[in-house]
């Protein structure tokens, strides 16, 4: 059994087999020792990629890459990629967030990298990132960056109010009570009911993936005891007035950060740049700590965000394309450029010791966070599987969580309804799902 529809004329043809056929049809590309270099096109939106591509071109005579900047994926980039593949005019490579890969796989728009990857290549990257680009044994992208999470907290206010840095979610709730008692305008954090992605990340930390593909079936696990525990926790925090309901990345959120009204926020590694840009007067007052755990002594983290470099159907030079995808995401010089531009936390292991990441942070009062986020990235639970139609699922929760807060059900009932809907949606796409 396979987790994808049977397509392209053969009732027994899995998507991995389709990709292999496409690879063999494309051939191996130009000889690296020939006179003319192989020319590739790469579509991406990550800042600083132009400098990294320029460096690649300066250091590689046999392969030359043209970078085309496209809108961020959710803002038109993915639609542009879909249209180009359908028209037979796609580039060889494109930036793609991990959660979008299954939707492209469903439409047979990606190619399998396995013929061009070695065990040594895989060993150069955080192993849990390969999980996010692998389906039915096929590998469809090279991991680029991730979003390991931590707890950003106001050390000055914690000291003033006598609050210890929480190491468990129970302690986090206790801290929330103390914050409300110390300042009636302050909250430990906010809950963005209109954006389910932070909730999904914290559910990931709890340990049960929302989907698995055992038995060749998309098995939905969105209502596992672990996820419902997370849902009940946050709904209880809101009900008891311990958390402010407000959106992330809105003027009101930035104002609360700057004024000390939000004091301990779970965010990805890239959150520091957001805080620094929008609450500059709080520089030196923040620190970062590991995410609170569900069990004392636990070592589970979470990830929010992350992207990869995918190989698109129709690429005539897959070997060279994979060579570039590996280089751009693991060469120390390239990774350093991308880090400086704020692309996230590197998936390449050597990139985690880049000088840009090991230097003390003035915004965090001189704290070094490289060890914290290296550990966080390695402690993201393995086994998470993104599913086709992730964005539709997220939007359903974005709609239903606010309704739950208005008295129409609960977060848990919203998850149950969303699970029923996503299973139906997957079946409509021709997938085995339950």
Torsion angle, alpha carbons of 300, 235, 155, 269, to 10? 50
Helix (H) and strand (E) counts for the chain? 18, 14
The two three-digit tokens of residue 302, written as one number: 């979470």
Q: Are 427 and 433 in contact (CB under 8 A)?
A: yes
Q: Return the C-alpha torsion angle 366, 371, 377, 380, nearest 10.
A: -110
- Asked whether residue 187 falls in the same domain as residue 274, the answer is yes
CATH code for position 355: 3.40.190.10
Which contiguous run of DSSP H or E holds residue 130?
A: helix 127-131
What pLDDT sits at residue 405? 96
Q: Is the dihedral of CA 292, 294, 300, 302 positive or negative?
A: negative
153 shares its domain with 91: no
- pLDDT digits 0-9 by tens, 321-348: 999 999 999 999 999 999 999 899 999 9
**Are residues 57 and 178 both part of a single domain?**
no
Q: How far is 201 from 189, CA to CA, in rounded Å?
A: 16
| Region of poorest pLDDT, from 25-29, 45-49, 88-92 | 25-29
Do 278 and 200 have their domain in common? yes
pLDDT at 9: 30
Angle subtended at Cα 343 by Cα 339 and Cα 344, rounded to the nearest 5 degrees: 85
C-beta separation of 345 from 373 below 8 A: yes
User: In the predicted model, what is the mean pLDDT of the chain?
Assistant: 93
Return the half-sphere exposure (C-beta side, CA atoms, 13 A cut-off) of residue 241. 8
How many angstroms separate the CA atoms of 344 and 348, rounded? 12
- Residue at 394 is within a domain: yes
User: By the 8 A CB rule, do 317 and 30 touch?
Assistant: yes
Average pLDDT over residues 388-395: 96
pLDDT tens sequence across 266-316: 999 999 999 999 999 999 999 999 999 999 999 999 999 999 999 999 999
| Residue 6 included in any domain | no
Q: How far apart are CA 332 and CA 258, in angstroms?
A: 35
Lowest-confidence pick of 2-11, 220-229, 360-369: 2-11
Q: Are 293 and 300 in contact (CB under 8 A)?
A: yes
Q: Is residue 10 part of a domain?
A: no
| 311 backbone dihedrals φ, ψ, rounded to 5° | -100, 120
Please tell me the distance from the alpha carbon of residue 362 to that of residue 358, in angstroms, as a whole number: 12
Q: Does 315 lie in the same domain as 259?
A: no
Let me know if residue 370 belongs to a domain.
no
For 76, the domain range is 15-146+305-365
Length of the chain: 434
Q: Which residues does residue 303 pair with via DSSP β-bridges, in sequence order? A: 148
pLDDT in tens, 396-408: 999 999 999 999 9
Are 268 and 396 members of one domain?
Answer: yes
Confidence of residue 243 (pLDDT cuts 50, 70, 90): very high
Verify that 289 and 408 share a domain, yes or no: yes
**Tokens representing residue 24 in the block:** 């063999």
Does residue 15 carry a pLDDT above 70? Answer: no
Regarding whether 196 and 298 lie in a shared domain, the answer is yes
> What is the phi/psi pair of residue 109, to 5°?
-110, 0
Mean pLDDT (whole number) for 58-68: 98
| pLDDT tens-place string over residues 104-162 | 999 999 999 999 999 999 999 999 999 999 999 999 999 999 999 999 999 999 999 99
Looking at the domain assignment, is residue 2 inside a domain? no
Within a domain: 219: yes
Same domain, 297 and 312: no
> Are 140 and 152 found together in one domain?
no
**Could you tell me the end-to-end alpha-carbon distance of the chain, in angstroms, rounded to an integer?**
14
Residue 295 lies in a domain: yes
Chain position carrying tokens 């002594």? 297
pTM greater than the 0.85 cutoff: yes
Residue 2: band (very low, low, confident or very high) from pLDDT cuts 50, 70, 90: low
Angle between helices 332-340 and 49-59 (to 10 degrees): 160
pLDDT band at 27 (very low <50, low <70, confident <90, very high): very low
Shared domain check, 195 and 92: no
Total domains in the chain come to 2
**Residue 3: predicted pLDDT:** 86
Residue 217, CB half-sphere, CA atoms under 13 Å: how many? 8
Does residue 4 belong to any structural domain of this protein?
A: no
Q: Which residues of 281-303 are buried (b: 16+ CB within 10 A; e: fewer)?
A: ebeebbbbbbbbbbeeebebbbb
Check residue 33 and give its pLDDT. Answer: 55
Q: Are residues 397 and 280 in the same domain?
A: yes
């Amino acid at each position: 059994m396979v987790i994808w529809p049977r397509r392209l004329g053969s009732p027994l043809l899995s998507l991995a087999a389709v990709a292999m056929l496409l690879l063999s049809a494309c051939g191996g590309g130009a000889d690296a020792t020939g006179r003319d270099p192989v020319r590739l096109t790469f579509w991406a939106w990550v800042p600083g990629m132009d400098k990294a591509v320029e460096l690649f071109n300066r250091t590689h005579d046999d392969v030359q890459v043209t970078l085309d900047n496209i809108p961020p994926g959710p803002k038109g980039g993915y639609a542009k990629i879909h249209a180009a593949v359908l028209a037979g005019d796609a580039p060889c490579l494109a930036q793609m967030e991990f959660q979008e890969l299954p939707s492209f796989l469903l439409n047979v728009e990606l190619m399998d990298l396995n013929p061009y990857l070695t065990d040594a290549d895989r060993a150069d990257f955080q192993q849990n990132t390969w999980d996010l680009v692998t389906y039915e044994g096929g590998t469809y992208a090279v991991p680029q960056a991730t979003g390991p999470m931590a707890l950003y907290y106001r050390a000055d206010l914690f000291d003033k109010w006598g609050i210890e840095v929480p190491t468990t979610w129970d302690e986090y709730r206790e801290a929330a009570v103390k914050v409300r008692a110390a300042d009636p305008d302050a909250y430990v954090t906010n809950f963005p009911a209109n954006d389910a992605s932070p909730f999904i990340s914290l559910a990931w930390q709890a340990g049960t993936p929302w989907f698995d593909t055992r038995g060749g079936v998309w098995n939905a696990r969105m209502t596992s005891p672990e996820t419902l525990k997370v849902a009940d926790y946050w709904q209880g925090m809101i009900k008891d007035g311990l958390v402010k309901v407000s959106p992330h990345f809105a003027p009101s959120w930035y104002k609360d950060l700057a004024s000390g009204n939000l004091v301990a926020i779970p965010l990805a590694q890239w959150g520091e740049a957001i805080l620094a840009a929008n609450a500059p007067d709080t520089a030196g007052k923040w620190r970062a700590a590991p995410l609170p755990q569900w069990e004392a002594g636990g070592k589970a983290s979470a990830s929010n965000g992350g992207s990869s470099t995918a190989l698109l159907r129709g690429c005539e030079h897959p070997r060279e394309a994979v060579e570039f995808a590996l280089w751009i995401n693991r060469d120390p010089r390239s990774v350093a450029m991308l880090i400086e531009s704020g692309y996230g936390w590197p998936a390449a292991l050597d990139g985690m010791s880049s000088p840009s990441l090991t230097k003390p942070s003035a915004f965090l009062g001189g704290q070094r966070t490289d060890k914290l986020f290296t550990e966080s990235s390695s402690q993201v639970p393995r086994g998470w599987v993104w599913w086709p139609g992730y964005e539709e699922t997220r939007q359903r929760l974005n709609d239903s969580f606010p309704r739950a807060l208005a008295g129409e059900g609960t977060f848990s009932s919203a998850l149950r309804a969303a699970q029923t809907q996503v299973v139906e949606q997957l079946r409509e796409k021709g997938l085995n799902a339950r």
